[in-house]
Every structure is written in C-alpha cells, then in structure tokens.
C-alpha cells in the first residue's frame, strides 16, 4: 500500500472533520424536526380535544334547554314529565353525523336511547370496552 502524499493527507484533515460535522448537524436537525413534529401533533390533539369538549358541552346545554321547562315544573317522581323528557331527548340529534343523546339512571339502567330503543330498561352498569374500561360509570 502506497503512502499517502502530504497534499492528500492535508486535504483529508480538512475534509474529514467537515464531513463528521455535517453528519452530526444532519442527525441533530433530523432529531429536532422529529421532536418538533411530535410536539405539534400533541398540541393539535389537545386543541382538537378541547374543541370537541366545548362542542359537546354546547350540545348538552342545548338538550338541557329543551327539557328545562319540564323539570323546573315537576317533582322528582313525576312520571309524566320524565316520559316527556325522554321523548324529547330521543328526538334530538347533533353534529354532522347526527349523533344522538341517551340517558342512564344513576344505577346504569338505560332510560332513553335514540338509536337502540330495545336497550331501554336494561342495566348496562357492567358494560366494558375492549380495554376493560366501564362505559357507564
């Protein structure tokens, strides 16, 4: 193997550190871009959640307004007012996908369900999702 000339050694001494520095800067920049991208995704998810929560609160407020006149003028055991409220809530939909309201008792019994009226009267307190989380708290 031939010895490297002095000129070639000098060029390598100048080029190699520059290449190492460039590779390091590329790695650092790529890492920062990835990190900033992850932060942006987290921020967007948080903003979307806040927006959806505000939207849902608005829809629930609308539903409460629709039945307010019934519960303000009724007693806790007024079956007629309760049936009227269920009828109103079964008819209400919201959002572009026509989501509907459903009502559970404090013990997890379905009182009103727009899409699945057959569930009304059934105890759903033990119902869990795929992750084992109770759907009706």
Q: Is residue 43 domain-resident?
A: yes
Q: Is residue 34 domain-resident?
A: yes
Give the count of domains, the chain.
Answer: 2
Q: Are residues 17 and 83 in the same domain?
A: yes
Domain that holds residue 45: 11-88
Q: Are residues 109 and 69 in the same domain?
A: no
Q: Are residues 35 and 84 in the same domain?
A: yes
Q: Check residue 102 and give its pLDDT.
A: 87
Q: Is residue 27 domain-resident?
A: yes
Q: Check residue 10 and give its pLDDT.
A: 87
Per-residue pLDDT of the chain (137 residues; tens, 9 = 90+): 568 788 888 888 889 999 999 999 999 999 999 999 999 999 999 999 999 999 999 999 999 999 999 988 888 788 899 899 999 999 998 887 888 888 998 899 999 998 888 999 999 988 889 999 988 87
Q: Are residues 80 and 17 in the same domain?
A: yes
Q: Is residue 83 domain-resident?
A: yes
Q: Check residue 122 and give its pLDDT.
A: 93
In whole angstroms, how large is the CA radius of gyration of the chain? 32
Annotate 57-96 with three-state secondary structure. Answer: HHHHHHHHHHHHHHHHCCCCCCHHHHHHHHHHHHHCEECC
Q: Are residues 48 and 84 in the same domain?
A: yes
């Amino acid at each position: 193997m031939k010895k490297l000339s002095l000129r070639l050694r000098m060029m390598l001494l100048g080029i190699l550190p520059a290449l190492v520095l460039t590779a390091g800067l590329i790695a650092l920049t790529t890492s920062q871009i990835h990190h900033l991208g992850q932060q942006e995704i987290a921020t967007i998810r948080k903003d979307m959640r806040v927006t959806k929560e505000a939207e849902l609160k608005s829809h629930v407020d609308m539903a409460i307004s629709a039945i307010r006149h019934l519960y303000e003028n009724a007693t806790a055991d007024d079956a007629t007012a309760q049936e009227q409220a269920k009828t109103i809530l079964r008819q209400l939909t919201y959002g572009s996908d026509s989501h509907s309201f459903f009502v559970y008792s404090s013990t997890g019994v379905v009182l009103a369900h727009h899409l699945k009226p057959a569930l009304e009267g059934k105890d759903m307190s033990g119902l869990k999702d795929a992750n084992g989380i109770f759907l009706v708290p």
